[in-house]
Structure 1
Amino acid sequence: MTQVEDDIVTEFPLTIYINEEEFATMVCTPAHLEEMVIGFLASEGVIRFQREIKNFKIDEEQGFAYIEIEGKINTQRDFSKRFIGSCCGKSRQFYFQNDVQTTKTSTSKTTITADQCIKLMDMMQATSHVFKGTGGVHNAAICTGDEMIVGRADIGRHNALDKLYGHCLLNQISVRDKVLVFSGRISSEVMTKAAKIGVGIVLSKSAPTDLAIDLAHDLNITAVGFIRGGSFNVYSHPERIHQ
């Protein structure tokens, strides 16, 4: 038996208070916490713009985030309540009630080439230093067709996406013409998050689920999976991918 030192990813609980009332606890990787909280609040429909936040403070030592926003929020609202209903007037269904109010159908006109799909995935993977060191995080990036604008990592795939969303809100980056590149499986949760962010193309090195593909069709999002070794599969709206 040989003893060696190994890098281990940090798991960190962060409890969010809004207007002095407890709202949610997130288990995350303790980096880019302000971005994550702002992206999460926007994703949940609590805020639409960063300017709606009057005060923001994070106590990393104790694991608390204190946010004061304009107006009131119903902290008793059940954000995880099951919802059965149509998606964008069509046949598909969301799992959760709040997603109906915050998920947007993409209006993106952006197109990219097959080579760009592969290069963007390689670019994100090459900059995923936390994953290389620990193997314990999900990676995600917001890109143009030619370059990566920002990349984030977290133990939770939804947290990584919230960090991207928060970064774009804080820096007033328009995402309608951007591409979301993701390291993991495209679940319905990931597809819903992508729609909330507002991108029209989602690239992944892994597979989508059946519900994710259904949502992608209905939300006008191009879903590309299994980007590996110079090939990939396009599951929805292939008109955005060309030679």
Structure 2
Amino acid sequence: MLLTEPRHAAFQAPLPRLTAAQAPLTREVRVVNEFGESRDIAIPAERDLTVYVDKRELVTLMTLGAHPEWLVLGYLRNQRLVRSVHDIESITVDWEVGAASVKTRAGIDGIEARTARRVVTTGCGQGSVFGGLMDEIDQIALPPEARLRQSDLYAMLKAIRERDSVYKSAGSVHGCALFRGSELLVFVEDVGRHNAVDTIAGWMWLQDPAAMDGADKAFYTTGRLTSEMVIKSAQMGVPVVVSRSGTTQMGLAVAERVGLCAVGRATHQRFLCFTHPQRLWRDVEPPRPPQAVAPQTTSR
């Protein structure tokens, strides 16, 4: 079963109150190129955000800051510190002091013990998770019948290529997206892929629970499929994850274990399916690359 409260509990409390804090995503800097010429370019505006839960300092996140309230909510979800969005009363972000204040409805049981052990992951900027990476993983059950059409996979890649993004203007960020078939539901960029997936997890919790089950969704990331990325996607109930990059050994092992279809090196109409290929519905046949012709040799 997924690591959330039963659905009948979802209506026992209202959704949390959130601020809508905003900050510039890029800033202009002057650079000098290899010819000694000066010009202005945009770079991502990375900033720190210290999260306080019930006035207790929890963690400092380095983030682009596009949707900080979603990020904090998704971080608490993916760290398994809260079981339901309704456990949170409010999230207040103040960029002037670089802080996010989380108020819960009934506190977090044993928060000191649950956050005592921290694992530094391979996420950009060194992400981290509390507790063991494999804790509770065998409780995750992804729907066995969930599949993704290959044509929808190609449509996903096309939508990402055509989207305006911070990466196109400033580089140095990762992008993540959630799709239902070929429909792009939400797209998030951040300085680390772990932040981007947490932000999407937070967004999902704020939607109508009847419409936001992960079973019919696919997740896209520009970053590699590490164990952290695979576990977080599985915790969100998403059975297919697509990456522009590849996978790691541990990411592959976790995907095999939880029944997640991991697709990597996905660009245009090319990809490699690393795990559970039965989740891909091959409804189209892409053109094959031309065969290399061996050079002709002549005898003398």
TM-score, normalised with respect to structure 1: 0.89
Among candidates 96, 116, 141, match of residue 152 of structure 2: 116
Q: How far apart are residue 39 of structure 1 and its match? A: 0.4
1:80 to 1:99, Cα distance in 2 relative to 1, 3 A: farther
For 1:3 and 1:64, the matched residues in 2 are separated by 36
For 2:59 and 2:83, the matched residues in 1 are separated by 18
| SS of residue paired to 1:4 | strand
- Partner AA of 1:119 in structure 2: A
Q: How far apart are residue 115 of structure 1 and its match? A: 2.4
2:256 corresponds to: 217
Deviation per CA, 1:6-57: give whole Å up to 9, x if none.
1100111111111111111111111100000000001111222222112221
For 1:133 and 1:76, the matched residues in 2 are separated by 42
Identity of paired residues, percent?
A: 26
For 1:164 and 1:132, the matched residues in 2 are separated by 20
1:13 corresponds to: 48
Among candidates 84, 89, 93, match of residue 58 of structure 1: 93
For 1:151 and 1:79, the matched residues in 2 are separated by 32
> How many residue pairs were aligned?
232
- Partner AA of 2:221 in structure 1: F
CA contact (8 A) 2:153 2:182 kept: no
2:31 corresponds to: none
1:113 to 1:98, Cα distance in 2 relative to 1, 3 A: closer
Deviating more after overlay: 70-79 vs 95-104 = 95-104
- Partner AA of 1:25 in structure 2: T
1:208 correspondence with 2:247: yes
| SS of residue paired to 1:106 | coil
- Partner AA of 2:276 in structure 1: H
Q: How far apart are residue 175 of structure 1 and its match? A: 1.7
CA contact (8 A) 1:142 1:151 kept: yes
2:234 corresponds to: 195
1:29 correspondence with 2:68: no
1:166 correspondence with 2:205: no
CA contact (8 A) 2:148 2:218 kept: no
1:98 to 1:187, Cα distance in 2 relative to 1, 3 A: closer
1:72 corresponds to: 107
| SS of residue paired to 2:275 | coil
1:99 to 1:208, Cα distance in 2 relative to 1, 3 A: same
| SS of residue paired to 2:38 | coil
For 1:50 and 1:96, the matched residues in 2 are separated by 21
CA contact (8 A) 1:121 1:204 kept: no
- Partner AA of 2:59 in structure 1: A
Q: How far apart are residue 76 of structure 1 and its match? A: 2.5
Q: How far apart are residue 98 of structure 1 and its match? A: 6.0
1:230 corresponds to: 269
Q: How far apart are residue 152 of structure 1 and its match? A: 0.5
1:183 correspondence with 2:218: no
CA contact (8 A) 1:200 1:222 kept: yes
Deviating more after overlay: 108-117 vs 18-27 = 108-117
1:85 corresponds to: none
CA contact (8 A) 1:15 1:26 kept: yes
Q: How far apart are residue 195 of structure 1 and its match? A: 1.2
TM-score, normalised with respect to structure 2: 0.73
RMSD between aligned alpha carbons?
Answer: 2.0
Q: How far apart are residue 79 of structure 1 and its match? A: 5.5
1:4 corresponds to: 39
Structure 2: gaps of 5 or more residues: 1-35, 120-128, 283-300
For 2:149 and 2:60, the matched residues in 1 are separated by 40
Tell me which structure has the larger Cα radius of gyration: 2
1:97 correspondence with 2:135: no
1:108 to 1:152, Cα distance in 2 relative to 1, 3 A: farther
